[in-house]
Structure 1
Amino acid sequence: MPVTVSAVVPVYNEEGAAVQVAREIATEFSKRFGSGFEILFIDDASTDDTHGRLVAAQADIPGLRVLRHQNNVGKSGAMRTGFFAARGDVVVTLDGDGQNPAADAARMVEILKGAPADVGMVAGQRRNRQDSASKKWASRWANGIRKAMLNDKADDTGCGLKALRRDVFLRLPYFDQMHRYLPSLVTREGFEILFEPVDDRLRTTGHSKYTNIGRLAVALSDLPGVMWLNRRLRQPGKVSESGH
């Protein structure tokens, strides 16, 4: 059965969660997509045994592929590697810490597959977030500023669950931390976005790779660049071909 759906999971030092995440994705996706899916874990130069445990699990997890970076490049770089390697025309991203339910990922894929061609992405928006009060505050502050400046209609760009058409993602300009601006970048290319409520689970292993100060610094430093990108785009409208 040809692969039509790819799950891309960037991981860095997630030896305690990665294999369980892969098993959950395989279980949920096999129910909905048969054997027409693949699971790509992008190990972003982990220093623990994340890579070894994933490789060992390939023997009994269908469709599991493990790609490893020589150098750590961050979440956006790992996502980019996954989209380039993906064979499905629809790609859904999940975080590797176990906080994103695979059932929500599969549901978002089905929504995108059934949506009109001008819908480029289905973005998850977390309900009942399992984070500290300070982390929630920093997220609301950064999301509020970004939403006001970019008018991207997204309340939660930090959610790791996003389903995109692969060809849409490959059109987007790449830069570090671009994953925080996917709604604006997808809209920039002329595509619509659907927002779906998703569940958020408590992290049980490892620790977050981000700090509140780090999130705010990125929000302030990258926002002017994304605004510049949006201003500099000129859309040609409908493209038609005549003759051969």
Structure 2
Amino acid sequence: MKISIVIPAKNEEENIEPLVREICEALVDTPDYEIIYVDDGSTDSTYQKIRELSLSRFEHVKAIKHLYSVGQSTAIWNGVKQAKGELIVTLDADGQNDPADIPKLIAHAAPFPEGIHFCIAGNRKNRKDTPWKRLQSRVANRIRGQILRDNTPDTGCGLKVFPKQTFLTLPYFDHMHRFIPALVRRQGGTVKVVDVHHRNRAYGSSKYNMLGRLGAGVLDIAGVLWLQKRSKLTDIVLDPEGGSIDAQQSS
């Protein structure tokens, strides 16, 4: 199965090459994979760094560029649409997700049959962020979890694995990347949470703040809750003369 690593990036020029090297080391025993960077309107040399790597010694690397910043969810969406792999791995471009965890998440995905919706979601057990940022995440995760009942303690973790076709069935909206587990469950899919490492940021600074998270988060949670309430799942049985299967459909 071909694997596509999709990484949204904005102004992460110093983190590009170290992260690519780590991904390649982690996947040294994986025969068929690609690394798709989506530059979300960076104002530094992020895109140039990606292109340099793809044109030199890292043939697995591919570059997509947004002419201006449209957000992480759109970057992931465009990366997944361009991916050639059946299995998608997402992680953040800042280097705080550990690529060494990727094979573990892929192994958890392996037992799922083809055509089944699922998401393997990373859980940053020991966060290396500042106390203030950890508090923000705890508050956001608690509110989201109580309302959406997605049973995912750390939906903000960028490290996730899911089938390409599962992702493309999800409703697209800005910030939807933070609700992938809830949206997969809405489709009748399975979400499995796996503890992963978390590291200090080596270069650059975070692109998010408390007001930005809260302002978008309240509206987004309400929207996802509406989608959950409006979703209907049912079993269908095909005409026995043409073969009989059971499947779940969502609307």
Structure 2 length normalisation: TM-score? 0.91
Where does residue 159 of structure 1 map in the other structure? 157
Tell me the distance in 1 between the aligned counterparts of 2:42 and 2:194.
31
Q: 1:170/1:239 Cα in 2 relative to 1: closer, same or farther (>3 Å)?
A: farther
Contact 2:8 2:92 (8 Å CA) reproduced: yes
Matched residue, 2:247: none
Cα deviation, residue 110, structure 1? 2.1
Higher mean alpha-carbon deviation, 117-126 vs 189-198, is at 117-126
1:128-139 equivalence runs, <5 A: 128-139=126-137
Cross-structure match for 2:105: 108
**Contact 2:97 2:199 survives alignment (8 Å):** yes
Letter in 2 for 1:14: E
Residue 216 of structure 1 is matched in structure 2 by 214
**8 Å CA contact retained: 1:26, 1:39:** no
For 1:3-42, list aligned pairs within 5 A.
Answer: 4-31=2-29, 33-34=30-31, 36-42=32-38
Cα deviation for residue 30 of structure 1 reads 2.2
The SS at the match of 2:162 is strand
Q: Find the aligned partners of 1:100 and 1:17 in 2 and give their Cα distance.
A: 12
For the Cα contact (< 8 Å) 1:26–1:62, is it kept in 2? no
- Given candidates 60, 84, 108, the residue that maps to 2:81 is 84
Q: Distance in 1 between matches of 2:59 and 2:105?
A: 21
Matched residues in 1 for 2:143 and 2:210: separation? 15
Runs of 5+ in structure 2 lacking a partner? 244-251
**Which amino acid is the alignment partner of residue 4 of structure 1?**
K
| Structure 1 residue 239, shift from structure 2 partner | 5.1
Give the total of aligned pairs: 240
Between the aligned partners of 1:187 and 1:167, the Cα distance in structure 2 is 15
Counterpart of 2:49 in structure 1 is: 53
Tell me what 1:143 maps to: 141
2:171 maps to 173
Q: What is the SS of the residue equivalent to 1:139?
A: helix
The answer to whether the Cα contact below 8 Å between 2:141 and 2:153 also exists between their aligned partners in 1 is: yes
Provide the C-alpha distance between the structure 1 equivalents of 2:117 and 2:81, rounded to a whole number of angstroms: 20
Q: What amino acid is the match of 1:164?
A: F
What letter is aligned with 1:15?
Answer: E
Question: Aligned letter for 2:136?
Answer: A
SS of equivalent to 1:91: strand
C-alpha separation between the residues in 1 aligned to 2:165 and 2:236?
A: 17
Tell me which amino acid in the other structure corresponds to 1:37.
Y
Measured in 2, the distance between the counterparts of 1:198 and 1:204 equals 18
Alpha-carbon separation, structure 2, partners of 1:62 and 1:29: 14
Q: Aligned to 1:236, what secondary structure does the other structure show?
A: strand
Identical pairs, percent: 38
4+ runs of 1 displaced by more than 3 Å?
Answer: 115-119, 241-244
Matched, 1:192 2:185: no
Q: Which residue of structure 2 aligns with residue 125 of structure 1?
A: 123
Contact 1:90 1:113 in 2 (8 A): no
- Does the residue aligned with 2:27 lie in a helix, a strand or coil? helix
| 2:201 alignment partner, SS class | coil
Compute the RMSD of aligned alpha carbons: 1.5
Separation in 2 of the partners of 1:6 and 1:51? Answer: 19
* Structure 1 stretches lacking a partner, 5+ long: none
Q: Give, in whole Å, the separation in 1 of the partners of 2:129 and 2:99.
A: 19
Q: CA deviation at 1:213?
A: 1.8
1:221 CA displacement: 1.8
TM-score normalized with structure 1 length: 0.94
